[in-house]
Structure 1
Amino acid sequence: MAYKDFMLDLESMGTDPKDALLSIGISPMNIEERTIGKGFYTRISLESCQELGMNINASTVIWWLEQSQEARDEFKGNYAHTPITTALAAVSEFISNQAGDTPQDQIRVWGNGSMMDNALLLAAYDMAGMSAPWTHRGDMCYRTLRALAPNVERVKPTIAHHALSDAEAQAKTLFAILDETGLTL
């Protein structure tokens, strides 16, 4: 099955483009059938992000220190995590493989906020001198859709602040919003 919709979640060291990425989680979605495919997850070396010129925000470091142990486990062994350029290449390969023959300008990547997940990932691609596997036409805002249906309860992730767990929960919430509102995409 080919997918054209992907729910993206990042864990990062800030909320601005050019802030370092900790992990990337992607859940391929079939919106019509309300199904989620096997996801993609990788943890990223902070050192490799800094070498690329990415920032680490001190207030975000403090915020991470206040999170659950499971969330803080994203940092364990960070020196051995995937270099950012390798992670970006893997994201591109994953989306391309999952999308099959879907044209690049029809691939839709859903991020939680118009200036958050997609913007940070696109900035990382730019800083690495690499092309993203989707075009500007495919930038979709899950947060905006969620705001249109405030009565729909959010699906809780199995592990909060784990990129793949968050992406899967957001995909399930997206399906519930579409069912509740009758919107079609």
Structure 2
Amino acid sequence: MRDLMIDIETLGTKPGSVILSIGAVTFDALTGEFGEEFYASINPASATKAGLTIDAATVQWWMEQSEEARRSAFAGDRQVGGVLAEFSTYVRRTCADRVWAKPPSFDLVLIESAFQACGMETPWHYRSPRDCRTLFDLTGTTQPSVGIAHNALDDAKAQAMGVIEAYGRFGPQA
């Protein structure tokens, strides 16, 4: 598939913050076809051992979210390095030309920081990131709701659906 949507849930808003979960889905923005999914929850203690940090304000924000969202976000029992290695393999296997996030200046930057903390290379080319929030603004598209808000995979699917709708507004020449 040509497109890859990535979403993360974190314990901070700055590069170097703990990542709780990563969700991703391949899709084709022109045809609307969906492909392979990725979802993994990370043990926050393993992330702090890797040097990632926790922000108290973000923890407070999580306390205000739904029980379903918290249960999903804090269910991680996997080590951060193992999840990032598996995610890197997934990303490389997709061969996506466009790596989407809402926005890349958050999700992708925080993941890149986690890769760096774990001594790993970022698995996408620096020219690949795309911002679906900008696309939604330009086309007047509203992202649909899918599943549980703040579940990384559900949010990735919803964002991908929004990109597909936005591309549809451009017509067949997109």
Q: How would you bin the TM-score normalised by the shorter chain?
A: over 0.9
- What residue number does 2:16 align with? 18
Task: Give the structure-2-normalised TM-score.
Answer: 0.93
Structure 2 CA distance, aligned partners of 1:128 and 1:67? 29
Gaps of 5+ in 1: 100-105
The equivalences for 1:34-183 within 5 A come to 34-78=32-76, 81-99=77-95, 107-150=97-140, 152-182=141-171
8 Å contact from structure 2 (residues 41, 74) kept in 1? no
Specify the SS of the correspondent of 1:8: strand
The list of structure 1 runs, each at least 4 consecutive aligned residues, that deviate by more than 6 angstroms after superposition, is none
The CA deviation at 1:74 is 2.5
Give the secondary-structure state (helix, strand or coil) at the position aligned to 1:87.
helix
Q: Which runs of 5 or more residues in structure 2 are unaligned?
A: none
Instruction: Work out whether residues 7 and 26 of structure 1, in 8 Å CA contact, stay in contact via their aligned partners in 2.
Output: yes
TM-score (norm 1): 0.87
2:38–2:90 CA contact under 8 A, matched in 1: yes
Q: Structure 1 CA distance, aligned partners of 2:107 and 2:60?
A: 20
Which digits, 9 at most, give the CA deviation of each residue in 1:14-39, with x for residues without a partner? Answer: 11111100000001012232111131
Question: Do structure 1's residue 4 and structure 2's residue 10 form an aligned pair?
Answer: no
Q: % of aligned pairs identical?
A: 33
Cα distance between partner residues in 1 of 2:114 and 2:173: 31
